[in-house]
Structure 1
Amino acid sequence: MHIPFNTRALAAVGIVTLLGLTLTACGGNDEPSFNNDEPSFKPLELNIAHINDHHSQLDAFAATELTLDGVATQVELGGFARQTAMFKSVAGTKNLLKLHAGDALTGSLYYTFFKGAVDAQMMNSICFDAFTPGNHEFDDSDTVFKGFLDELAKGSCKTAVVSSNVVAAAGTALAPTGGAAYLKPWVIKEIDGVKVGIVAVTLAGKTVNSSRPLASTQFNEEVASAQKAIDELKAQGVRHIVALTHQGYEADKAMAAKLTDVDAVIGGDSHSLLGDFKALGIATSSGSYPTVATNKNGEMVCLGQAWEYSKAFGLMNLQFNETGAVKSCGGKATLLIGDSFKRKDSAGVWQVVSDGVRSTLMANLAASQPLVKVLTPDADATATLKTYSDQVAAEKAKPIGTATESLCLVRVPGESTNRSTGVAGCEAGNTLARGSDAAQAVAEAFLFAAKRADFSLQNAGGVRTPIAAGSLNMNTAFTLLPFTNVLVEMSLTGTEVVTALEDAVANHLDLAQSNGSHPYAAGLRWNLDMSKSRGQRFSTVQVRNKTTGVWSDIDPAKTYVLVTNDFIAEGKDGYTTLGSVFKAGRSVNTYLLYTQSFVDYVLTKGSIGRPARGDYAHQTVITQAGVTLP
């Protein structure tokens, strides 16, 4: 009997056929039987519950504005204890996998003070089947990441930590001498008597360039590493494979098309909200949930991601046919909210709604709004968190000043993702040429702190949250700037300054690395045309005189003093020109903690707001597609 080539056939089948042995199909068995020369498998339904990029954001987001029943309404959004409640609510779902797609760490005072211990304990309130490290797991090197994993390993969950392309050197923190390596290339789960493989990848370039892993830790190419792990699983008789990735939505789509035998991709890193949330007042979405693509075999592969910061929960349903291929996929990402609602009264003041309005709203949400789930946070997870939240509450609550208006968060002007969703006044922030108000404010604070600097520079990815109008406290500052960077003053010529700007944009446009490299500045402004090639994107680069406030064209031959964070000063995030200047010894470490510099700036000013339009770094912007932004 001739058996045609089929990538879903098990390697073992070919061996057994060659030996002339007889295969007997048994009900519920994972072995294939042949009918008309085609392999046949037990049909399988698989459900995948998943989150990503919670970034130590364990508390709920109060006063988040959504549109509910067509009316602007403030709600409490997310919170990890609410995630725990959501995962518990679907615990009875048939054939369920629970996955976390990375970036559990960095982003709040919980990480600043406890270095992942709280995140691990909260993750263990869910008991994920698998977790893949994101780039921010390596922000404080492999050693701190190991401490987080040790905490995660406590108790009965035993979450598998998986990455096929991260290889720690023997004898280092993640591959200790005499002990098992902390990271596995893949893990196998048995679902309804069927083996399901989970293969994971962590984005390589961004982690090496934008975090601080050990120099000896290897980050291999993602697609080749994933395919190697898939082939190893196939050789063991695994016929259903889920890729758990931390590399971004666009990279997931590109990778899926290059891999054989992958059925689903559960991803993170780009903080992508998938689905249509327009009715909830969220206009921007990166794509559909699930996103349906095709793998290298020509078979259906289904992609999912669940936004950020414990705000959303993803649940994907996969149906496999008798040939082992995906027959269909469905599911959705759901926003998790509390049961307290506020709406504006006739005077425009937010007020708690009446019991009658609340009851009607709750009923309507349950009946006709599947993308929102009202949940009470899990009691045990809340109690766990409280033991730590009480310790940081006093520090978080210390007031530092006010924001006179909302400061929107943007990485690249014109990007599709609105990173300020729910912040009043930022509904269209991502579509405007000025870009990130928040990054601009940070740059202004750096320039204020460095008395001898002519201008400052800040990478977009180092600024983590928007700032809502109103009172600011220490928590605002440490959430906005959660890393342990210090300010560095550098001496550069005008030519080097412009080249550094070109480096930053080329990093994401040409090198497909993190768009967190995108530059913002104070005392320095430009016109940017991303439709042009490298070296031609920046024009009319000007410097503001610190004494007179007058703007003039940058002098290519003149030496200027630039203040920036030590991370990009060292050449990280694609800032290769700055790295060369740093290595040449043309820099001075101020040892000013960048978060404290922002705090001191606000304390001195009393209040902060958006600068005059002429003081923004981005004066005009043309997108890569050639669109001129307003």
Structure 2
Amino acid sequence: MYLLKPYLYLFLLFCAISVGIKAQKKELLIIHTNDVHSQIEPTATDDTQPDMGGTLRRQVVIDSLRNTGKAVLLIDAGDAVQGTPYFTTYHGKAEIALMNRLKYDFITPGNHEFDNGTASLATMYKDATPVIVNCNYDVSNTPLKRYFTPGVIKEIGGWKVGITGVGVALKTSVDPEKVTGIICRDAIVSATRTADSLKRCGAEIVVLLSHLGIEGDKELARKSCGIDIIAGGHSHTLLPTPIPVINKQQDTVWIGQTGKRGLYVGVIECKGDTRRGYTIDLSSRYDNRIDSVTAALIDSYRIPMQKTTGEVIGNALKPMTVGRPQSPLSNFTADVLVQQARKEGIPCDFGLINIGAIRCDIARGAVTKGDILSCYPFDNYICHISLPGREVKRLFRIIASRGGEGISREVELTLSPDRKIKRLAIGGKKIKPRRIYHITTIDFTANGGDEMTPLTRHRKRIDTKTRLCDLMTAAFGETTIREGGVSASTDRRIIYK
């Protein structure tokens, strides 16, 4: 019943703005991006593609498609922010200014848009020209109320296009304190009801901006009705071409997603009953056509920022990658947590860092403050937890099911191919259910983030004022002075067997 009034309002709104549309040739290009994560400048992907992405190259592709004379709808499926010093420094102002400059039509928030809280996000959206769509977040009791729209119908390319958006459950992906007042509705139910309202008001196709991840998008497509195209995000999945999924009415839903960090742009062509899609990689071949006005806008943010972020604070003796089941950077981070606890005189059996807290790799060579800010962009603080052994076992079952997290060298975890625990030891010994274990982690996981709910059932918790970013800045510097640089290994702390 809670949906009745909002959807009645939507129905009348949709009908009102859809009246009087004339028949035109139905041809439309939908350009979609997702999970750019504040990657305003080009970035290295790997040795074969060392220079990809960037706002300027994206603009060249978008403008080229617009110059074909075809109607273009430019949309983003969330996590446009968080991941480089641009967001840490300007809190989304730079990203929104550039989305305005590129003339995005519609955007939906991802989970990372909420990292600084609802008031900060409202400030970020204050100057946004794209329409912000979401139908499964009730933000009526937050500062975001005036900025969110459940859905819109837009006449473009001879089509009446309905646009709506959905997002992932926030309380497991964002610090709960940052999303106080937001009610997250079921995404499938909300999207289906909104699509139905849009179709009843004359929408011929419905485009869903989704931040659920590829598996969530597939499930939504199968179980929903009325949605024709899903521009997805959250899982950082690169789909070279959109994938088809059959819905409840035996209609085809097309799902597209463009990976992460703005390395690619996705395009879905709608021409009559035909759908065709592809991705375009943003390489240096576009650099001779960059827009000088946009370049100057970027410089207005980049140059002041680099006065602090360009300082070299350490050295990496090898590429410090991050990933599952274990990786050099996540291992090093977890080991640093243990070292910090012992410096403070606090007992520590092992360190734990969620992989999601580390946002990128660090290349071999000089390490700057900006590199550390890019890797550890969140406002996370060090936290010490005392936990019964039975809860530690539950914790590691969750870690196993997720394919691994960052754990310190005191832990030996052997997993089966189906992510079941075959062997678990801490300090070379099996876990005793009644013993109290001491864990050093960050406040996000201590609050149950990334499914780490056993940590909330602690016997004791000590919160500190030490930020993870500051701790890792010091660790890189001290290790470089002591050992000439950082070179963490991937040992046997998490293995599959």
Give the TM-score taking structure 2 as reference length: 0.89
Matches within 5 A, 1:409-488: 409-411=322-324, 413=325, 435-451=326-342, 452=346, 453-488=348-383
Q: Which residue of 1 aligns with 2:3?
A: none
1:293 Cα shift? Answer: 2.2
Q: Which residue of 2 aligns with 1:593?
A: 467
SS at match of 1:450: helix
Which residue of 59, 83, 100 maps to 2:41? 59
**Corresponding letter in the other structure for 1:293:** V
Change (3 A) 1:78 1:377: farther
Larger C-alpha radius of gyration, 1 or 2? 1
Matches within 5 A, 1:492-571: 492-506=387-401, 518-522=404-408, 523-529=410-416, 531=418, 537-544=420-427, 551-571=428-448
Which residue of 288, 293, 300 maps to 2:252? 300
1:290 Cα shift? Answer: 1.6
Q: Which residue of 1 aligns with 2:17?
A: none
Which residue of 236, 240, 243 maps to 1:271? 236
1:84 Cα shift? Answer: 1.9
**Structure 2 CA distance for aligned equivalents of residues 464 and 376 of structure 1:** 30
1:198 aligns with 2:127: no
1:80 aligns with 2:32: no
1:173 aligns with 2:143: yes
SS at match of 2:94: helix
Change (3 A) 1:230 1:329: same
Contact 1:44 / 1:319 at 8 angstroms: preserved in 2? yes
Q: Which residue of 2 aligns with 1:418?
A: none
Change (3 A) 1:218 1:565: same
Higher normalized helix content (fraction of residues): 2
Percent same amino acid among aligned pairs? 27
Deviations 1:190-230 (A, max 9, x none): 013431101211112xx221213433211111110001101
1:318 Cα shift? Answer: 2.0
1:376 Cα shift? Answer: 4.1
**Structure 2 CA distance for aligned equivalents of residues 579 and 293 of structure 1:** 38
Contact 2:333 / 2:406 at 8 angstroms: preserved in 1? no
**Corresponding letter in the other structure for 1:310:** G
1:120 aligns with 2:96: yes
Q: Which residue of 2 aligns with 1:90?
A: 65
**Structure 2 CA distance for aligned equivalents of residues 446 and 476 of structure 1:** 19
1:75 Cα shift? Answer: 4.3
1:602 aligns with 2:476: yes
**Structure 1 CA distance for aligned equivalents of residues 432 and 226 of structure 2:** 56
Report the count of equivalent residues. 468
Q: Which residue of 2 aligns with 1:316?
A: 268
Where structure 2 has 5 or more consecutive residues not aligned to the other structure, the ranges are 1-10, 13-19
**Corresponding letter in the other structure for 2:384:** E
SS at match of 2:122: helix
1:78 Cα shift? Answer: 0.9
Matches within 5 A, 1:352-431: 376-411=289-324, 413=325
SS at match of 1:96: strand
Contact 2:357 / 2:376 at 8 angstroms: preserved in 1? yes
Q: Which residue of 2 aligns with 1:332?
A: 278
**Structure 2 CA distance for aligned equivalents of residues 528 and 480 of structure 1:** 27
1:410 Cα shift? Answer: 1.6
SS at match of 1:588: strand
**Structure 2 CA distance for aligned equivalents of residues 308 and 503 of structure 1:** 25
**Structure 2 CA distance for aligned equivalents of residues 612 and 128 of structure 1:** 42
Change (3 A) 1:183 1:375: farther
**Structure 2 CA distance for aligned equivalents of residues 595 and 613 of structure 1:** 24
Contact 1:336 / 1:374 at 8 angstroms: preserved in 2? no
Which residue of 113, 117, 132 maps to 1:137? 113
**Structure 2 CA distance for aligned equivalents of residues 596 and 485 of structure 1:** 10
1:374 Cα shift? Answer: 6.0
**Structure 1 CA distance for aligned equivalents of residues 388 and 110 of structure 2:** 36
Deviations 1:153-178 (A, max 9, x none): xxxxx3110001011133x2112xxx
**Structure 2 CA distance for aligned equivalents of residues 264 and 395 of structure 1:** 43
**Corresponding letter in the other structure for 1:439:** S
Q: Which residue of 2 aligns with 1:259?
A: 224
Contact 1:337 / 1:375 at 8 angstroms: preserved in 2? no
Contact 2:327 / 2:490 at 8 angstroms: preserved in 1? no
Deviations 1:61-96 (A, max 9, x none): 158532xxxxxxx64211112212221221134121
**Structure 2 CA distance for aligned equivalents of residues 519 and 139 of structure 1:** 21
1:612 Cα shift? Answer: 5.8
CA RMSD between the two structures:
2.3
Q: Which residue of 2 aligns with 1:23?
A: none
Which residue of 127, 132, 135 maps to 1:161? 132
Q: Which residue of 1 aligns with 2:450?
A: 573
Change (3 A) 1:589 1:530: farther
SS at match of 1:210: coil
**Structure 2 CA distance for aligned equivalents of residues 440 and 75 of structure 1:** 25
Q: Which residue of 2 aligns with 1:184?
A: 149
1:217 aligns with 2:163: no
Deviations 1:278-335 (A, max 9, x none): xxxxxxxxxxx12122222212222111111121111111233xxxxxx332231111
Contact 1:400 / 1:599 at 8 angstroms: preserved in 2? yes
**Corresponding letter in the other structure for 2:406:** Y
Contact 2:400 / 2:421 at 8 angstroms: preserved in 1? no
Contact 2:382 / 2:465 at 8 angstroms: preserved in 1? yes
